[in-house]
A and B are shown apart, each in its own frame.
Chain A
Amino acid sequence: MIQLSIDARKCDEARSHAKNIVDSLKWLISDYTSATIERTVLRFLGIDGAVGETPIPNIIVDHLISKQAINRGAAYWVANAMARLDISAQEVGERLASDKIDLTSLQSAGDEKIRAILDKLTDKKLAKIRKQREFREHTLRKYGGRNRPALYLIVASGNIYDDVVQARAAVSEGADIIAVIRSTAQSLLDYVPYGATTVGFGGTFATQENFRIMREALDEAGAKVGKYIFLTNYASGLCMPEISAMGAIERLDIMLNDAMYGILFRDINMKRTLLDQYFSRMINAYAGIEIQTGEDNYLTTSDAIDKAYTVTASQLINEQFAILSGVEHDKMGLGHAFEINPNIEDSLSYELAHALLTKALFPNCPTKYMPPTKFATGNIFKTYLLNAMFNFISQITDQGVQLLGMMTEAIHTPYLADRALAIENAEYVFNAARNFGGEFELKKDGFINKRANQVLEEAINFLERVSHKGLFTAMQEGEFADIKRSENGGKGLGGVFKKSEDYYNPVMEKMKLELGI
């Protein structure tokens, strides 16, 4: 691979600022919990299903919030009710929904008994997740690992059964990773819908049933072509940890899971998002799920040259948040994008410099490279050409995951043939340039080295400034993507709670222990 000349001390400097930014928020993570974190714990106890549109985990957590008892953690109250009433966790939820029992007015069964109940249930679920992880690792070894760059394709029909047909076709054409696009409306739902989606707009809901249906289809399709096919969904929005938990149980392999995306681009409260992402990523780490971050979003409305440093800065912050949750580098799919205006002279040199910088900073991460979208105009022929350039840069810089560009970007969600042509494009370019990058050395003081160093320098200055102000203040002042968000604004703040002295989260405690964090 082509090597940049970058001063290792500069990389360390950038990292230490990012670490300061993240470390200064440890108080939030240790002292607070959220509605979706508590619902996640309930899912780990085996509680599932819905009454009408309302999932049972929501019914229980809402009940505890209304009784001002959530600060102790939902696990305690459910386990106590199980002991006192001699019923299962699921039955606690069902009884609450039908008989309106009050979980907080039952006499305490005693800490020892409650802990024993919680240990048993969480151990069972954690064992299931470990088994899923082992299955993935075993199958992957059997077939000989994943291609690099891996071909990542999306399905977005809005009907999970149509998605299955399209995903199978993509696998037979050479896809390594299938991402099921999530309905745009889900990010702001403070619950996870239940059941299979057959009529969605701009995607399907992330539901456990949809996960199960696609997992089964991909295992089958993968066996046919002798590959383990990675399944991707979105642990983002107001239910990050719940979606991760469902993904862990149903063996998803990759989750879009950015630390700050919800705050900036969906106006979700910053405390809520940072709490949720912490637990969500911990679950992903435990389940061996690769996370992906959304740095490409910084470039969809801002200039990809002027604001290149925001991508680098966000990658470094995302890395530190991931480390805090126990995510290993080989599971950090930090994002970046090929979004420079193609009319600019030497745009390819800029793209190469930026792609190399990401690679130099995160050599052991399966970096996620996003295709051109901003300058995909509807001229499918030109877009196909841009995608070839994008594939070329990815191959010679050894990116981890190639999110294939569609020539019909900006027109419609991909058609069958769009996907097949995108794969043909990537396979040709990857093969043609397989060892091409290894043949070249960059001029030490040439344009590409200078440019990469300049972006790093700008990122360092930016991170130093944010570290000085603190992340919350920086976001308030619009330092990220020119979007201003306030500490107590945005959606979901009502679902943030201070933990009491006797707060207990059996899932998080066990995971922290096993992950060594």
Chain B
Amino acid sequence: MTFKIDPTHIKPYGDTLNDGRMQLSFSMAVPADEQGKEAARLLLKKIGFDNIDLCYYKDIGEGFTHFVAYASTKVSIDLTSIHVKTIDTPVMSMEETDKYIAEHVGREIIVVGACIESDAHTVGIDAIMNMKGYNHRYGLERYKYFEAINMGAQVPVESLLAKVREVDADVVLVSQIVTQRNIHIKNLTKLIELAESEGLRDGRVFICGGPRISHELAIELGYDAGFGAGSYSTDVASFIAFQMAEKEK
């Protein structure tokens, strides 16, 4: 069987072209009975779903019910109109990055990193910066051409920027793991605004990272790059190398 997919009208695909089928799972403060089920069905209807198949529901205590449903959406998307910002510099190994910096920058690059404000989870910044790195990729400390300063957890943005000024850092690297109530957005915005008002933004590379951070979001917040889940030290190091080389031109 062959069929032609129209990239200007893409819909979810279950088992038939453009059937629009989607899996849905949610819980609500409704009783686990016919009335609650109808409430869930109407909710999906209101969102705009058709062919709603409420296949499972269960009382999960305290007056809440969990639902699993399949439903069809009428909405389609035009793939050809979507342009996403991505990091498109190639990823090099540690040795290649060091060699590249030696040739194109010709000096050590100073990187100051921290897990800022209330966030105490250093696992991300440590994986990128510390000597041992993560999953067989060494951290920036191990590179010949990086002077990596990891300030650790719960660093107030004021302290981070004081350090940036003190060592005249080329690169600022921040990690945000906790995202409850969008605290990461608030913290990242606070840093960039303060850096701008203190005249520390221009001429420096600002990078953020964390499991819920995308490059797109980072650009929107005023950073040069954002690294999300699955990023390694090699991704960050290569990006910095190319960015610095560009600046030295």
- A residues at B contact (CB < 8 Å): 158, 165, 168-173, 183-185, 187-188, 199, 201-202, 265-267, 300-302, 377-378, 410, 412-413, 415-417, 419-421, 482
Contact = CB atoms under 8 A, between A and B. Distances in A.
Interface residue SS majority, chain B: loop
Interface stretch (B58-66, B77-85, B213-221, B240-248): B58-66
Interface in B23-68: 25-27, 58, 60-62, 64, 66
A158 B62 contact: no
B123 interface: yes
Nearest to B23: A381
A355 to B, nearest CB: 23
B181 A158 contact: yes
Contacts of B120: 184-185, 187-188, 266
A405 B84 CA distance: 34
Interface in B163-216: 178-181, 183, 211
A256 to B, nearest CB: 14
A185 B154 contact: yes
Given A184-B120, A410-B229, A417-B26, 18 more contacts: A168-B61, A172-B61, A184-B118, A185-B118, A185-B119, A187-B120, A201-B180, A201-B183, A202-B119, A266-B120, A266-B153, A301-B132, A377-B230, A415-B27, A416-B66, A417-B66, A420-B27, A482-B131
A202 B178 contact: yes
B127 interface: yes
Contact of A169 (B25, B64, B130, B154): B64
A420 B134 contact: no
7 contacts: A185-B118, A201-B181, A201-B183, A202-B180, A266-B120, A267-B153, A420-B60
B61 A169 contact: yes
Nearest to A165: B62
Given A201-B118, A267-B152, A420 B66 contact: yes
B84 to A, nearest CB: 18
B99 interface: no
A168 B62 contact: yes
Contacts of A378: 229
B180 A158 contact: yes
B121 interface: yes
A188 B154 contact: yes
A173 B131 contact: no
Given A183-B118, A185-B118, A266-B120, A301 B126 contact: yes
Nearest to B181: A201
Interface of B: 25-27, 58, 60-62, 64, 66, 118-123, 126-127, 130-132, 134, 152-154, 178-181, 183, 211, 229-230
A466 B235 CA distance: 36
Which among A171, A301, A377 has the greatest number of chain B C-beta atoms within 10 A?
Answer: A301
Contacts of A173: 60-61
A170 B229 CA distance: 29
B168 to A, nearest CB: 25
A205 to B, nearest CB: 11
Nearest to A188: B154
Contacts of B180: 158, 201-202, 413
B64 A410 contact: no
A265 B27 CA distance: 36
Contacts of A183: 118
A57 to B, nearest CB: 23
A173 B59 CA distance: 9
A421 B183 CA distance: 28
A170 B60 CA distance: 8
A169 B127 contact: no
Contacts of A168: 61-62
A62 to B, nearest CB: 22
A169 B131 contact: no
Which among A201, A266, A415 has the greatest number of chain B C-beta atoms within 10 A?
Answer: A201
A416 to B, nearest CB: 5
Nearest to A424: B58
Contacts of B62: 165, 168-169, 172
A154 to B, nearest CB: 13
Contacts of B58: 420
A344 to B, nearest CB: 13
Contacts of B230: 377
Contacts of A301: 123, 126-127, 132, 134
B66 A482 contact: no
B118 to A, nearest CB: 4
Q: Which are the 4 A-B pairs with shortest beta-carbon distances?
A: A172-B61, A169-B61, A184-B120, A420-B60
Contacts of A420: 27, 58, 60-61, 66
A416 B119 contact: no
A330 to B, nearest CB: 30
A184 B154 CA distance: 9
B28 to A, nearest CB: 9
Contact of B178 (A184, A187, A267, A416): A184
A412 B123 CA distance: 16
